[in-house]
Structure 1
Amino acid sequence: MLALVLGVAGSFAITRTVGAVNDRILSAASRGIADSLGSDDGEITLDLSPAVFGMLENNARDNVYYSVRRGREILTGYTDLPQIRIDPARQEEFTFAESRYLGHEVRIVAVTRIVPQVSEPIVVQVAETLDARKRMARGLLVGLAVLELALIATAAMLMPIAVRRGLAPLKRLQAEMDRRGAEDLTPLSAAGVPGELGDLVSAFNTMLARLDSGFAGIRRFTADASHQMRTPLSVLRTHVAVLKRAKPGSAEAKGSIEDIDDAGARLSHLLNQLLSLARVDSGHPERVILEPADLRRLAADVVSGQEAVASARQIRLHLGAPQRAVEVRTNTALATEMLVNIVDNAIRYNRPGGQVSVIVDERPAAIRVEDDGPGIPPEDREKVFERFIRLNPHAGNDGSGLGLSIAHSIAETLGLDLGLDGGPGDRGLRLTIIFPPDADSLVKGP
């Protein structure tokens, strides 16, 4: 493209330059004839110098013709030379035009001269055929084409070298990556990398950091999950061994069967929470579809589903909600799973005979889960949102430390706020789910 632009610009410049040079020679010839004009008692005289005749008769410059006229009267020169239109007011100025004469294209220049004692202005015209101009322009254009081809050929020869040198930093980066182990995610060195590749290396290092963080999370998740599953599996294996030795129907066999049932339930609960956590971790906020949802109905469904768990643990489960619908825009499935984990956590960590209340607020749209259990010291409340954190693992409950972590991850996905503080009368805990302002309740009639 650059060669094409240079070729077009060069051709235009050559054509203009050749035309300007030849027009200047024509102008000089017409001026020489005009300067030789004079008058003698009102008669016009013309005294052409040999230099002017030599200029007009120079065969190397192509054919040249001239005429001198006063009005329509031809005083000297070629009588049938085409007359070009000139502006009488523009005296002593040159006027150029192109025409045909004797079967050839010609370039004509005209100049007007006022001669003393002559009433009308004298017009001098000089014409030149264009063959010499075309030959000169053609020769220069051929030279330009040769230079263009040489430039293209040189660029073609240098292009592979330039590409190899330009890709050398990428080759070095590739070699560095090839030498690394599968788990080596340390950032690439930016030393010696051209500025044009700096952003690429920086973006790649950012991706490596994200991968390293993701792999670290997977390793931590795997280690924690295996640690959490080890206990119920050990219980299962131990009591299966006991059951093999015990007599059918004995107290020892019945106790082992109960322990196996408890361990199986705990393992099932843990696996369900691990699957929930995996689903949340694999989700993307931009893919979550929001839809109208009634917080009152959502809370009622969760309370109804958790009544059996609460009854088995001797926990009173209470629902407090307004008489009319509290509508927000959210993802019903994720919001339900979040609330189930929060209520289940409140039930499992409450005291026997305690109470868990699920309360729906209208303005702002929110759900509060309150319990009257042992509670958590203020300095430890933020820790409960971390995975596999159990502040009192020897309290006798069978929680896995994942419930509130799952709820926190879902809240971040849905853009909700979770607030954790002391329960009523500073007893137990209160966890509040606050929906964003643009999803506040749309209160309907009863």
Structure 2
Amino acid sequence: MPSKDGASPQQGSLFGEILDWMLAPLLLIWPISVALTWLVAQGIASRPYDRELGETARSLGLQVAAAEAPMGLAKGRDRNALAPEAAALLRADASDTVFYQVLGLRGELLSGDAALPVPVEEAPIVPWEIHFRDDEVGTDAVRVAYLWVAPEGQAGSTRTMLVQVAETLGKRARLTNEIIKGVILPQFVILPLAVLLVWLALARGISPLNELQRRIRSRESSDLSPIDEQRVPDEVAPLVRAINDLLARLDSSMSRQKHFLADAAHQLKTPLAGLRTQAELIQREIDAGRASPDEMKRSLAQIARASERAAHMVNQLLSMARAEDAEQAMRREPVNLAEIAIDTVRDFVPRALERRIDLGYDGVAPDDSRLRVQAQPVLLGELIRNLVDNALLYTPAGGVVTVRVVEDPFGQVVVLQVEDTGPGISPAEREKVFQPFYRSLGSGVEGSGLGLAIVQEIVQQHAAELTLDDTRVRRAAGGESPDGQGPGARFTIRFPATSSPTS
């Protein structure tokens, strides 16, 4: 359960949690076992005493049946149904108080204790069938055995006498306690022993986890090799496979970062070396007194160009870092793609005019609410900016660069296209141009080689689809279009469309 401040609760010990889940049922079952043992012990203790009590009631019934002659029924109330010696023997139990009762054919008390309750029978009376019940005599709880007796010589008669024998529960309670003690007391030794054995078994069972932890902790920070799955239990193998997958992805990511940093350092080295060389050259000319204003202007112009290339490289590196930031890419919102494309074209118009390139936008109006995509606005702007920048770099003077945003006929995607009339990209290089720092050979264009790599990363972050083809049809051999211009390059990106709320 989350804590009050919103933070997740601290995870406890796995060993302790498993131990709790094993011992909690055990400690819950133990009192239930005691209660069941007590009930079973009561049944066991009552069975022999019920048998003895039933035999006593039957013997008393036989004596009562023999004592009741057919001719003396009218005088039965004036005689004892049980001889004084037998009555004295019946009450000779030193542990419990014994009660008996004999009721005549008319329900009159012939002998015994009048306080013993009479049973309430709903079923038909069967002579000589012994029944048992729990009852009370005064404040004493008793166990009663009773039966209906048919006097001798009255076999065909439906009139019966009732004989009851009852005793208190002292002997039964003592036997029940002895049985419970015999069963429960050993459990006080067995239960702690069971807890100890469970603890030892768990400690032995999780020892492979401790070994795995030791192996991981002993690794060097640079060791991203897979963990041996053969030396771990089957239950932990999926976790180890997940860790190995993470290590593989970390290794790949770190390798890419190392390669990227090495390439970035190499690329930055050239403009920085140019800056240093030009500064040292002009310093020597000044020291020698040979520095003319024209030479100083040329040196300063070269320094400005080198610093501009370095600044452009740094900006591209920052854009690449933003494109690879997964957390930033997750912060998406409905974005008007046409509006961002038009703003980007407007920003590049001065540069296009300087290079005498016809830069324009061709597509739907920016107020068309249908052309919205779920995207990160900053990254989407970087994507269009790099595509336009790349097109202006490779398009010669007099060429055309067009940015286009259209909707597909089925309304499932929004299409962004940036095309130019430059030399184009050969089919053999179309996979390579999206690699960082790759530049087409023989183009004579100075660039960082990061623009299309940034585009590829942003496209992947937004689950879009990127295709590259020619703007015009190439000649069979010359690589130019039929009108003499270059075949150009056309980048087409299809973003999943998102439904916008109606106004």
Q: Write the deviation string for residues 303-355 of structure 1: whole angstroms up to 9, x where unpaired.
A: 01112333343322111122452531333222111111111111112233321
2:338 counterpart of 1:304: no
2:315 counterpart of 1:272: yes
2:464 to 416, 424, 427: 416
Aligned pairs (5 A) from 1:341-420: 341-363=386-408, 364=411, 365-392=414-441, 394-420=442-468
Q: Determine the C-alpha separation between the residues in 2 that align with 1:106 and 1:138.
A: 18
Kept in 2: contact 1:82–1:101 (CA 8 A): yes
1:235 to 271, 274, 277: 274
Q: Residue 369 of structure 1: SS of its match in structure 2?
A: strand
Tell me the residue number matched to 1:433. 493
Identity %: 31
Kept in 2: contact 1:319–1:358 (CA 8 A): yes
Give the 3 Å change call, closer, same or farther, for CA 82–411 of structure 1 in structure 2.
same
Kept in 1: contact 2:57–2:147 (CA 8 A): no
- Deviation of the 1:377 alpha carbon: 1.7
RMSD between aligned residues: 3.3
Tell me the residue number matched to 1:30. 54
- Deviation of the 1:96 alpha carbon: 4.5
- Deviation of the 1:160 alpha carbon: 5.1
Give the 3 Å change call, closer, same or farther, for CA 31–262 of structure 1 in structure 2.
same
Structure 2 residue ranges without an equivalent (≥5)? 1-23, 475-486
Q: Write the deviation string for residues 145-168 of structure 1: whole angstroms up to 9, x where unpaired.
A: 432321232144445533432332
Kept in 2: contact 1:41–1:117 (CA 8 A): no
Kept in 2: contact 1:284–1:413 (CA 8 A): no
2:43 to 1, 19, 39: 19
> Which has the larger displacement, 144-153 or 184-193?
144-153
Structure 1 residue ranges without an equivalent (≥5)? none
Give the 3 Å change call, closer, same or farther, for CA 67–441 of structure 1 in structure 2.
closer
Aligned pairs (5 A) from 1:195-344: 195-246=234-285, 247-284=290-327, 287-291=330-334, 293-323=335-365, 325=368, 326-330=370-374, 331-344=376-389
Q: Determine the C-alpha separation between the residues in 1 that align with 2:329 and 2:102.
A: 88
Count of paired positions: 439
> Which has the larger displacement, 88-97 or 319-328?
88-97
Kept in 2: contact 1:328–1:442 (CA 8 A): no
2:101 counterpart of 1:67: yes
Q: Determine the C-alpha separation between the residues in 2 that align with 1:144 and 1:15.
A: 13
Kept in 1: contact 2:107–2:161 (CA 8 A): no
- Deviation of the 1:76 alpha carbon: 4.1
> Which has the larger displacement, 326-335 or 39-48?
39-48
Q: Determine the C-alpha separation between the residues in 2 that align with 1:193 and 1:55.
A: 76
Kept in 1: contact 2:329–2:379 (CA 8 A): no
Give the 3 Å change call, closer, same or farther, for CA 202–322 of structure 1 in structure 2.
closer
Compute the TM-score of the two structures, normalised by the length of structure 2: 0.77
Aligned pairs (5 A) from 1:88-237: 88-89=123-124, 91=126, 96-112=132-148, 116-158=155-197, 161-237=200-276
> Which has the larger displacement, 149-158 or 270-279?
149-158
Q: Determine the C-alpha separation between the residues in 2 that align with 1:47 and 1:198.
A: 84
Compute the TM-score of the two structures, normalised by the length of structure 1: 0.86
